């Protein structure tokens, strides 16, 4: 078994060794740029961890891990165009730094690069690996589409929201783990269990993000607390508040989210006030814990030793330990 | 052996049977829309013809053919955004009919759908098929990038232009043929010969397009004659004219391509006048024939009977028989 640190070293070396053609520069420079903006490399790490979990050499899964990381970065480049986002990890997004056309086309070629990495997987698992990867990639596109549609809608249910975050962010965690499991020749049952584990922790992580946006300790939180509130982002918290608010609170919430001119601090305070009245933080935490517990139940069913499971569970715990 | 008509029927059935999820509608409706705008289906036909050429059942290559057709349509959707094109085959482009965001994301999911079709290929050839497809897809992206860069440049050489059209349009013909050859278990030598055949006819076709834009019989030509001249498109003809023109003609050509206000008919006549003085049509035809002859030489080297080659050669002849 490899330590998490060793797996991370394998990843960093592999990322450094990702080679793209030199020309045309405008096509390939953005790939190197976005991949080197960093990030926690959670998704490729999950690929390696799953291979390791099922007792095989994680080095066998490096190509699949790179495919997942390059694919993830491709979605960031295209999502940033669609969301009109100027910054990514504190730096200019690709379409800001170059142009929308460059961002579209570099994104496209990243998708090809992801597939090229995937095609390097041992042919024994290739078909299974492709099917899992393609189903995941398709779901991620569907999630992004739903996310954009929700911005235009006033009747998004909690159920729809959970399904959207499942597609947009959670299934890539599940898919990453399943790829690692396939390469480790895990049983189909175990491969599906770890996929479902990933999906459930993914939903829990996103709910945690929603909660942290409002309730994080500003000293420890990387970004501005209340950003989602200012942007009227339809998070679990806002949707739940709309579901539960009545009379005066409902009116107030409607007015607050319709205002075009406002003092950001006042708006955050006022929305938070409604959340507190409706106990939204606790409801969100309870839902988050439900998904986390479901994930842990699924992990418990996987047919390997508790010792082998320790690394993935430790990573999960670390990621969930961000301060409220 | 199958007749071309039979192969086309196999294709039409397969295209009709391409099934995409119903929801989200905005993600999947554009795929059905663009694919059903029609087109000659040359690329998927080449996949089947190559499998047939090497004596195997073209039905075995239908998934690869669908991958090629869906991929080709994906490139149309994204290219139309980048080229700001309002029309495609006389109908609104996807980004015009829906939105740029929808066109980006539907294009992305088409790429996934292409890969899903590819993954259905017999696992025996899967690795080879993926490698050929991915190299082709990457080249097509590079070609589109070069095409966009050339618009901003005043020093594009004929050599660069030929390389651009090779990447942007010709290698997909080569790739389609090679995929069919791989699935037919052709020798590596024959598979590479037919790839090179496709690349060379692809370049010849594009040069023919360039010539037809200026010299086609308006009665028989589908679109406006002289469209490239009006748009200052850097075709083989214009680049060659800039290469050969001297003194007065060079000045005139520079002025004509710099004009912001002009009578289209006059501009077409004037540029055509320069082309005639410089014998550009004949030079272009000679270059086109060089690529066509090279293609035929390559085909002659392929180790199957002349009878088997007849269908692909007939199609090539038909496509080249458009009126000048």
The pLDDT of residue B323 is 57
DSSP annotation of B61 reads: G
Contact across the interface for B123 and A123, Cβ inside 8 Å: yes
Structure-token match 């996949």, residue found:
B47
A100 exposure class (CB count in 10 Å sphere: 0-12, 13-18, 19+): middle
Give residue-wise pLDDT tens across range A80-99. 999 999 999 999 999 999 99
Find the closest chain B residue to A140 by CA distance: B109
Angle CA(A235)–CA(A236)–CA(A240) in degrees, nearest 5? 120
The CATH-assigned architecture of domain A188-324 is Orthogonal Bundle (1.10)
Cβ(A53)–Cβ(A15) under 8 Å?
Answer: no
Q: Round to whole Å and give the CA distance between B4 and A42.
A: 51
The pLDDT of residue B78 is 98
Give residue-wise pLDDT tens across range A30-53. 999 999 998 899 999 999 999 999
Which B residues 82-101 touch A at CB under 8 Å?
A: 82, 101
Q: Does A109 touch chain B (CB under 8 A)?
A: yes
The pLDDT of residue A182 is 98
Q: Round to whole Å and give the CA distance between A95 and A93.
A: 6
The CATH-assigned architecture of domain B1-184 is Orthogonal Bundle (1.10)
A141 exposure class (CB count in 10 Å sphere: 0-12, 13-18, 19+): buried
Q: Does A37 touch chain B (CB under 8 A)?
A: no
Report residue A218's pLDDT band, with 50, 70 and 90 as the boundaries. Answer: confident
- List chain A residues with CB under 8 Å of B167: none
Q: Which of B61, B63, B20, B137 is nearest to A118 (CA)?
A: B137
**Cα-flanking dihedrals φ and ψ of residue B56, to 5°?**
-110, 170
Q: Round to whole Å and give the CA distance between B83 and B86.
A: 9
Best mutation site among A115, A122, A164 for testing chain B: the one with the most B CBs within 10 Å?
A115
What length is written for chain A?
A: 324
Cβ(A99)–Cβ(A92) under 8 Å?
Answer: no
Contact across the interface for A24 and B108, Cβ inside 8 Å: no
Q: Round to whole Å and give the CA distance between B27 and B42.
A: 26
Share of chain A above pLDDT 90, in %: 93
B116 CA: distance to closest CA in chain A (Å) = 6
Q: Which of B285, B283, B253, B284 is nearest to B270 (CA)?
A: B253
The pLDDT of residue A179 is 98
Facing residues of A91 across strands?
A: A88
Query: Is the domain covering A1-186 a CATH 1.25.40.10 domain?
Result: no
Give residue-wise pLDDT tens across range A180-216. 999 999 999 999 999 999 999 999 999 999 999 999 9
What's the token pair of residue A314?
């430790």
Find the closest chain B residue to A124 by CA distance: B123
Catalogue the E-assigned strands of chain A.
Answer: 87-88, 91-92
Mean pLDDT, rounded, for A240-258? 96
Find the closest chain B residue to A146 by CA distance: B24
- List chain A residues with CB under 8 Å of B144: 105
A255 exposure class (CB count in 10 Å sphere: 0-12, 13-18, 19+): exposed
Q: Does A138 touch chain B (CB under 8 A)?
A: yes
Low-confidence ranges of chain B (pLDDT < 50): none
Q: Round to whole Å and give the CA distance between A75 and A136.
A: 12
Q: Which of B40, B107, B46, B41 is nearest to B78 (CA)?
A: B107
The pLDDT of residue A324 is 55
The pLDDT of residue A321 is 83
Where are the domains positioned within chain B? 1-184
Q: Does B115 touch chain A (CB under 8 A)?
A: yes
The pLDDT of residue B13 is 97
- List chain A residues with CB under 8 Å of B107: 108
Q: Round to whole Å and give the CA distance between A114 and A110.
A: 6
Give residue-wise pLDDT tens across range A8-30. 999 999 999 999 999 999 999 99
Q: Which of A169, A195, A57, A63 is nearest to B134 (CA)?
A: A63
A206 CA: distance to closest CA in chain B (Å) = 21
């Amino acid at each position: 078994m490899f330590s998490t640190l060793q797996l991370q070293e394998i990843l960093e070396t592999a990322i450094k060794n990702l080679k793209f053609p030199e020309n045309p520069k405008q096509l390939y420079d953005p790939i190197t740029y976005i991949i080197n903006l960093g990030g926690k490399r959670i998704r490729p790490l999950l690929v390696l961890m799953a291979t390791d979990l099922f007792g095989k050499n994680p080095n066998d899964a490096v190509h699949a891990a790179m495919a997942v990381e390059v694919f993830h970065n491709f979605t960031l480049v295209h999502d940033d165009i669609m969301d009109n986002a100027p910054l990514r990890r504190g730096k200019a997004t690709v379409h800001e730094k170059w142009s929308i056309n460059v961002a579209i086309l570099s994104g496209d070629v990243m998708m090809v690069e992801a597939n090229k990495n995937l095609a390097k997987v041992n042919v024994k698992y290739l078909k299974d690996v492709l099917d899992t990867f393609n189903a995941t990639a398709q779901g991620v596109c569907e999630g992004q589409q739903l996310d954009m549609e929700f911005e235009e809608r006033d009747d998004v249910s909690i159920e729809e929201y959970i399904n959207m975050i499942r597609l947009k962010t959670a299934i890539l965690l599940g898919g990453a783990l399943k790829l690692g499991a396939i390469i480790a020749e895990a049983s189909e049952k175990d491969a599906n269990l770890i996929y479902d584990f990933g999906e459930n922790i993914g939903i829990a992580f996103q709910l945690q993000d929603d909660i942290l946006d409002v309730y994080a300790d500003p000293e420890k939180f990387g970004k501005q607390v209340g950003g989602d509130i200012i942007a009227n982002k339809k998070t679990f918290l806002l949707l739940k508040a709309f579901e539960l608010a009545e009379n005066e609170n409902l009116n107030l919430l409607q007015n607050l989210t319709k205002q075009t001119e406002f003092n950001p601090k006042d708006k955050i305070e006022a929305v938070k006030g409604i959340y507190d009245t409706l106990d939204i933080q606790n409801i969100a935490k309870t839902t988050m814990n439900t998904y986390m517990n479901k994930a842990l139940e699924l992990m418990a069913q996987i047919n390997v030793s508790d010792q082998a499971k320790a690394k993935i569970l430790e990573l999960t715990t670390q990621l969930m330990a961000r301060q409220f």
